[in-house]
Structure 1
Amino acid sequence: MPLLLTTAHVATLADGHSATSERHVIRSASDVSSLVNYHTDNRSHASIIIAIALGGVFLDAYDLGALAFGIKDVAREFNLTPAATGMVASAITFGAIVGAFFDGYLTDKIGRYRVFMADMLFFVLAALACAFAPNEWVLTAARFVMGLGVGIDLPVAMAFLAEFSRLRGRGNKAASIAMWCPTWYAAISVSYLLVLLLYGVLPEGHTAWLWRLILGFGAVPALVIIAIRSRYMSESPGWAANQGDLAGAAKILRHSYGINAEVATDAPAPQINRRAKAGLRNYAALLRGVYLRRTVLATLIAVASSFAYNAVAFGLPVILSSFLEQSMLSTILFSLALNLLFAFVGGLLAVRFVPRFGAWPMTVLGYALQLLSLIGLALIGRPHDGIRAGLAIAMLALFLFGQGVGPGSHSMTFASLSYPTSLRGVGVSFNQTLMRASSTLSLFLFPVLTALLGTGVFWVIALAPLAGLLALLTLRWEPSGYDVDAEDFASPSTVAAG
């Protein structure tokens, strides 16, 4: 719990920021971490910062899913083979691998704020380049650059969500991080709605413009975030304190939380956290001691979740239009309904109930539902009557609900809350690098395996949730409600015992 020190009746501080009258004197980075995790005073800008970070997640999801409906038009326009189609589709996740690997180092080294703001430029430039791509090579290159933005964004967004939320109770760290999931599905739904709108207003001979307009629209929310960044965004107080900048951390607490925090006049000279200076060597720390077990579990959850979700979600329009023999309009409507009613709702339930039940049991439940649904889809095969088609759609709905309530929401919870502030950037980065590799493999293989196996591809996809279940049952770890940030200030022997 935070150290309650002295009280002063001050409503407005000298720097112009309003704060609570209770004055908190900080002497170390540990005090800053405790105030963030346990303080209950009004948080003036913290929730807005969380919302802006979720805006970055919205961009990630939108850009990853925007091409789902247009991939057939891209293949037709550029006369692509199945392998070339897979190359275009997977370029964004390949870029995300590269972006994610380097972002963790940058996020921990130069700060969350700088990396997040620079990242928005990737989205703007890449979205415009995609919209005007004259051939598949330019489109692939632009999607790769867009992937760099996606890979850079998620680790820093997760750091913001974890480090601007309290530890326990409603809206805690696990719930804030889980919000990335319904945000993701909201972005996918927006792309579907935009497709539906453009499909209705574009002249019949110009529907091939759909994919260009959809991809180009991704620049709009990035420009909005850039426009509002200066007023609300700030650095993570925990990161600033770990860098030895207690005065800067106190200023952030006043500005973003409304906490009247001041550095004690007799505080010892601020020390830079040993891991804050380690840089790339921190990747090795993920594979030692107690962090090895957490890293293995978080990685297996992320890889399994990503492989299955990308195959089903990105391939959803293909599944509906080809396997279930739906028209373009009904494919758009079914995809929108499935995402909103099942994936999005599942994500909201994950946010609501993770403070009560924890991330581990909800992830187990989600994987179990996904395994059941994929086995059902494989057994149903290509439906030739209304009943089997209805059952197949119900299985797709069950899969998306399981993703939302389980691994879709909490893969990031495990990745973000398994590590303290000093390791969070590289921890999420390492997790995302391997997860993006799984996504790339899934997006590349899905068109090829579908052509070879038909609906038998669901047997292959079912291996992913099965692997996730086995990992959870073998390596039990509950990150929700655990003060992992305290490990930055504990002795190595204490952390190892934990």
Structure 2
Amino acid sequence: MSDSIAASPAASSGDYSADSASDKPVVIRSAADITQLVNRGAAKISDARIVIAIALGGVFLDAYDLGALAFGMKDITRQFGLTPSGAGFVASAITFGAIVGALFGGYLTDKIGRYRVFMADMFFFVIAALACAFAPNEWVLGGSRFVMGLGVGIDLPVAMAFLAEFSRLQGRGNKASRVAMWCPTWYAAISVSYLLVLLLYAVLPATHTDWLWRLILGFGAVPAILIILIRHRYMNESPVWAANQGDLQSAAAILRKSYNINAVVADDADKTPQVKVRKAAWRNYGTLLQGIYLRRTVLATVTAVASSFAYNAVAFGLPVILSSFLQQSMISTILFSLGLNLCFAFVGGLIAVRYVSKFGAWKMTYAGYACQLVAMIGLALVGRPADGGEAAISIAMLALFLFGQGFGPGSHTMTFASLSYPTSLRGMGVGFNQTLMRSSSTVSLFLFPVLSAALGTGVFWVIALAPLAGLIVLTAIRWEPSGYDVDAEDFDVPVPRH
């Protein structure tokens, strides 16, 4: 794959490299020049990494808020007298909100810019987290979780756009590895929620354990407030998006501030978007299903839906699995869940970040789904463990599932969704992907309590269908986004592959 697109003379004549002096002028003549400079890598002294960290902070919030109820559902069900369907409503409300949020968030990310959308959606997390903490009944709790889901759905398209558009194409800190960082960040957030549960469970009086879920949900406002406080110092619009809107002056200013590149727009620069660049419009969702993007969209969507369905069923049900199927105490359940997430899901995510540029997202996703299929079949065959040996096998299968999720589909479904489309379509591409993915999450979270009650451990046969579907679509469509300069497609520039 080529690591750059055809450049105008100004940007390709040796004006810039990652090691060049920050005061050396770089002449900008087109939006393609801005893309090239970002693809080559930031200067050594740069705020781009901080922007990436803030974007990942948004991902942290998404994961924390989605997983915060895992240990609280039993208390909520008891406190509000919920039926299995009522528990499914409360559990799935956030993902239903995320469906709506992703649909509109993808459009707004491309329409009004990454910065404005990211700044606005942080307030959803603060307001909704506090409302959840003080919810007097299941309707207020479900409604607040829905509002929280709007923030989650809006955040993912913009966060992925920041990760892709503030990263270089190849080398250390490349786009694929930066996008894959969303996965270990996600599992770190899940682990923090487990640690918080463990701490609160240890300090709360036995007569006040019903406070546990309220405190956990309310804590979600804390990181959101921190992000709001630091956003004005470091956060900037994506220079690639600004350039694609025809605003080369703003794009150059962002390069100067975030990348420490002395970018100067030429007097004779073409200050209008390139002819092929698309303005944000609802019809662009249809573009994702046409031409070269159809196969990419099918691959990204099916793998995301399969990954989401299986992971949410297992991750949300992990405390139930450990406490009910393996007859563990609450403390043991928390410790086992924390250990499995840190040692397998989180470590798998770090492996994905480290090796995606070497092995590619396609191969790692395929291997991850294979691990998950084996794990689900193993859990289904063991059923309810009858002794310590079978319990050990069940725990090993859960570990295998989470490890496969970490280095495989958990990391790279977002790589497919983010890096299969150029800047002009990226927000809507991720938004479309997340809309269908969150639909899968909603179905999974709603059905798991019902199916688990009806089928017992037989539910693992149902979950096994998800990784099987992922393997089938990966076999049918071999598309590798890692290292491919997809933004060149906005400028009618051929992009050769190795």
Question: Quick check: 2:280–2:424 contact (8 Å CA) kept in 1?
Answer: no
Whether the 8 Å contact between 1:244 and 1:273 is mirrored in structure 2 is: no
Contact 2:371-2:400 within 8 A present in 1 as well: yes
AA at the equivalent of 2:194: Y
Tell me if 1:340 matches 2:348: no
Work out the CA distance in 2 between the residues paired with 1:278 and 1:224.
31
1:444 to partner: Cα distance: 0.3
Contact 1:243 1:276 in 2 (8 A): no
Name the counterpart of 1:263.
Answer: 265
Moved more, 349-358 or 263-272: 263-272
For the pair 1:4 / 2:26, whether they are aligned, the reply is no
Secondary structure, aligned partner of 2:215: helix
| C-alpha distance in structure 1 between counterparts of 2:311 and 2:82, whole Å | 24
SS in 2 for 1:280: coil
Q: Which amino acid aligns with 2:344?
A: F
Show the 5 A alignment for 1:119-130.
119-130=121-132
Q: Distance in 2 between matches of 1:174 and 1:141?
A: 36
Q: Which residue of 1 aligns with 2:144?
A: 142
CA distance in 1, matches of 2:41, 2:326: 53
**In the alignment, which residue of structure 2 is the partner of 1:29?**
31
Q: Is the 8 A contact 1:23 1:262 kept in 2?
A: yes
- C-alpha displacement at 1:21, in angstroms? 3.2
Alignment correspondent of 2:484: 482
Q: Secondary structure at 1:226's aligned position in 2? A: helix
Match of 1:186 in 2: 188
Question: Alignment length, in residue pairs?
Answer: 488
- Paired position in structure 2 for 1:456: 458
Identify the match of residue 393 of structure 1 among 392, 395, 399.
395
Matched residue, 1:427: 429
What secondary structure is seen at the aligned counterpart in 2 of 1:277?
coil
3-state DSSP of counterpart to 1:289: coil
Partner of 1:14: none
Task: Give the counterpart of 2:301 among 285, 299, 302.
Answer: 299
Q: Is the 8 A contact 1:19 1:258 kept in 2?
A: no
Normalising by structure 2, we get a TM-score of 0.95
Q: Could you state the TM-score of these two structures normalised by the residue count of structure 1?
A: 0.95
Deviates more, 1:34-43 or 1:120-129: 34-43
1:218 maps to a residue whose letter is: G
Distance in 2 (CA, whole Å) between partners of 1:123 and 1:19 is: 41
Give how far 1:259 is off: 1.2
Segments of structure 1 that go 5 or more residues without pairing to the other structure are 12-17
Deviation, 1:272, is: 6.3
Deviation of the 1:169 alpha carbon? 1.2
Instruction: Give the equivalent residue in structure 2 for 1:105.
Output: 107
Q: 1:327 aligns with which of 302, 326, 329?
A: 329
Q: Which residue of 2 aligns with 1:216?
A: 218
Give the structure 1 partner of residue 372 of structure 2.
370
Instruction: Give the whole-Å Cα distance in 2 for the aligned partners of 1:273 and 1:233.
Output: 29
- Contact persistence 1:6–1:24 (CA under 8 A): no
- Measure, in 2, the Cα distance between the counterparts of 1:127 and 1:177: 26
Q: Secondary structure at 2:263's aligned position in 1?
A: strand
Residue identity in the other structure for 1:32: I
Counterparts of 1:297 and 1:271, CA distance in 2: 29
Gap regions ≥5 residues in structure 2:
none
Structure 2 counterpart SS, 1:476: coil
- Letter of the structure 2 residue corresponding to residue 184 of structure 1: W
SS at match of 2:282: helix
The CA distance in 2 between the partners of 1:497 and 1:22, in whole Å, is 32
The answer for the alignment partner of 2:241 in structure 1 is 239
Shift of residue 19, structure 1, vs aligned partner:
6.5
Counterpart residue type for residue 215 of structure 2: L
For 1:330 and 1:481, the matched residues in 2 are separated by: 43
8 A Cα contact 1:6 1:25, kept in partner: no
1:65 corresponds to which of 59, 63, 67 = 67
Q: Identify which of 277, 280, 284 aligns with 2:279.
A: 277
User: How many angstroms apart in 2 are the aligned matches of 1:5 and 1:30?
Assistant: 14
Cα drift, residue 278 of structure 1? 4.2
- The structure-2 alpha-carbon separation of the partners of 1:372 and 1:312, relative to structure 1 and needing over 3 Å to count, comes to same
- CA shift, 1:496, in A, is 13
Q: What's the CA shift string for 1:248-293, capped at 9, x where partnerless? A: 0001011111111110122134236654424111111101100000
Distance in 2 (alpha carbons) for counterparts of 1:277 and 1:496? 26
* Alignment equivalent of 1:167, drawn from 162, 166, 169: 169
Query: For residue 22 of structure 2, what is the amino acid of its counterpart?
Result: T
- Residue 15 of structure 1 is matched in structure 2 by none
Matched residues in 2 for 1:94 and 1:7: separation? 49
Aligned-partner residue type, residue 171 of structure 2 = G
Alpha-carbon shift at residue 497 of structure 1 (Å): 12
